[in-house]
């Protein structure tokens, strides 16, 4: 596939924000109809700023028929949209769809990908996007990675980059990831915000919310203004996305051995006391073996990998692993350079 008009991909996860945190933390749920409305706002904005084509990830959760109905209605009203092409592959309704859509969008030559989802969705795209930049929109639960922003603004920034009005150097920022390797590469994965080692031993309902189950945290950045497990780092030792280091935190399995308890929002509205043993910068390019004998690795908020006694788990921080559209910088440059003057 190839296209001459500047094209953008949209990966809208229809199933983010559906997990157990709706029950244990009263977490919010962005409804399918609202997700479709976000896509419509993205499309109309991209069209106005010169993006000719948009590739969409297919789904079997109701977004495609809703969007088709809305696009039909809008076109009858004379509203302009880019050409919308759904990628053609069998939908599995698993994260494999996100992986596959990301790869296909790369092959189609999109200039950027706009991602609707939580940290987990963004992680899936980051694994496969290569040097194609991501612009994230938060529709998940904890949302440490994607920013909360009106989608119109995100689309404006993406359009400036996609149409060549801003260069890579001007528009993009590099991001760190944490690489997890079990048994020297036998199983590998990444986290874009937090890799958490837990005493839990099954994947189960995926989320982690019991403080006593936490063993250690490895963070790419730690922002005191986010919630989720990385908030522990944010309130302990803020570490920016731009910092060359990440942050590692060891928790006390015996509360009596904790230096102190840190009260942190580990899920929406869920403040919990976390017994802190030690913390230190996480240096890029250094191997950090996990001390726990057996447990689960949670990546960006969800239990993903189990490990048994005798299995070796290694953590390492990688710089400049993937790129994001810096929306704030793009809009400021767009304004200063008169890029919105027509």
Chain residues that interact with other proteins, rule: CB under 8 A: 14-15, 17-20, 22-24, 26, 29, 31-33, 60-62, 65-66, 90, 93, 201-206, 293-294, 306, 308-309
In whole angstroms, how close is the CB of 47 to other proteins at the nearest point?
A: 26
Contact (Cβ atoms closer than 8 angstroms) between residue 284 and residue 318: yes
Rounded least distance, CB 25 to other proteins, Å: 9
Toward other proteins, which CB reaches closer, 32 or 152? 32
Shortest distance in whole angstroms from residue 63 CB to other proteins: 9
Q: How far is the CB of 19 from other proteins (least distance, A)?
A: 6
Which of 141, 137, 160 is closest to 51 using CA atoms?
A: 160
Mark residue 219 as left, alpha or beta (left: phi above 0; alpha: psi -120 to 50; beta: remaining). Answer: beta
* Minimum CB–partner distance for residue 26 and other proteins (Å): 7
Tokens 């189609």 belong to 108
Burial 143-165 (b: 16+ CB within 10 A, else e): bbbbbeeebebbbbbbbbbbbeb
- Which C-beta is closer to other proteins: that of 177 or that of 208? 208
Residues 6+ apart with CB under 8 A from 227: 142, 143, 144, 265, 266, 267, 268
If the CB atoms of residues 164 and 204 are measured against other proteins, the closer one turns out to be 204
Question: With respect to other proteins, which residue has the nearer C-beta, 138 or 163?
Answer: 138
> If DSSP codes are grouped into helix, strand and coil, which group holds residue 311?
coil
Smallest gap from Cβ 184 to other proteins, in A, equals 20
3-state secondary structure of 291: coil
Q: Which is nearer to other proteins, 21 or 123 (CB)?
A: 21
Smaller CB distance to other proteins: residue 93 or 259?
Answer: 93
**CB of 174 within 8 A of CB of 163?**
no
Q: Which alpha helices (H) appear in the chain, and where do they start and end?
A: 21-24, 32-48, 63-76, 95-108, 119-128, 151-162, 168-171, 230-236, 327-336
Cα R_g (the chain), whole angstroms: 20
Burial-class residue 188 by CB neighbours within 10 Å (0-12, 13-18, 19+): middle
The strand pairing partners of 214, in sequence order, are 198
- Residue placing its CB nearer to other proteins in the complex, 249 or 298: 298
Nearer to other proteins, 3 or 306 (CB): 306
Closest to 116 in 3D by CA, of 40, 216, 16, 27: 16
Nearest distance from residue 24's CB to other proteins, in Å?
6
Q: Work out how close the CB of 97 gets to other proteins at its nearest, in angstroms, rounded to a whole number.
A: 14
- Calculated CA dihedral for residues 190, 193, 198, 200, nearest 10 degrees: -80
């Amino acid at each position: 596939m190839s296209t001459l008009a500047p094209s953008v991909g949209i990966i809208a996860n229809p199933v983010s924000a559906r997990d157990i945190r709706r029950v244990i933390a009263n977490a919010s749920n962005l409804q399918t109809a609202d997700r479709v409305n976000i896509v419509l706002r993205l499309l109309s904005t991209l069209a106005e700023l010169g993006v000719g084509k948009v590739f969409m990830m297919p789904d079997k959760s109701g977004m495609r028929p809703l969007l088709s109905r809305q696009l039909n209605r809008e076109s009858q009203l004379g509203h302009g949209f880019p050409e919308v092409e759904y990628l053609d592959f069998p939908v599995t309704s698993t994260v494999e769809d996100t992986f596959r859509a990301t790869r296909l969008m790369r092959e189609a030559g999109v200039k950027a990908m706009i991602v609707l989802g939580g940290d987990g969705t963004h992680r899936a795209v980051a694994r496969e996007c290569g040097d194609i930049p991501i612009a994230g929109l938060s529709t998940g639960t904890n949302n440490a990675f994607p920013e909360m922003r009106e989608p119109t603004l995100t689309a404006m920034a993406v359009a400036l980059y996609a149409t060549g009005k801003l260069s890579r150097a001007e528009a993009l920022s590099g991001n760190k990831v944490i690489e997890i390797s079990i048994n020297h590469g036998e199983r590998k994965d990444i986290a874009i915000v937090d890799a958490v080692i837990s005493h839990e031993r099954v994947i189960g309902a995926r989320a982690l919310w019991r403080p006593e189950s936490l063993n250690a945290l490895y963070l790419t950045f730690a922002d005191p203004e986010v919630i989720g497990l990385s908030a522990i780092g944010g309130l302990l030792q803020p570490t920016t996305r731009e910092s060359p280091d990440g942050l590692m935190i060891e928790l006390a399995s015996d509360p009596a051995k904790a230096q102190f308890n840190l009260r942190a929002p580990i899920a929406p509205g869920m403040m919990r006391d976390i017994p802190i043993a030690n913390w230190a910068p996480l240096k890029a390019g250094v191997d950090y073996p996990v001390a726990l004998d057996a447990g689960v690795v949670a990546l960006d908020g969800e239990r993903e990998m189990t490990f048994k006694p005798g299995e070796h788990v290694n953590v390492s921080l990688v710089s400049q692993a993937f790129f994001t559209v810096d929306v704030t910088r793009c809009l400021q440059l767009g304004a200063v350079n008169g890029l919105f003057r027509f």
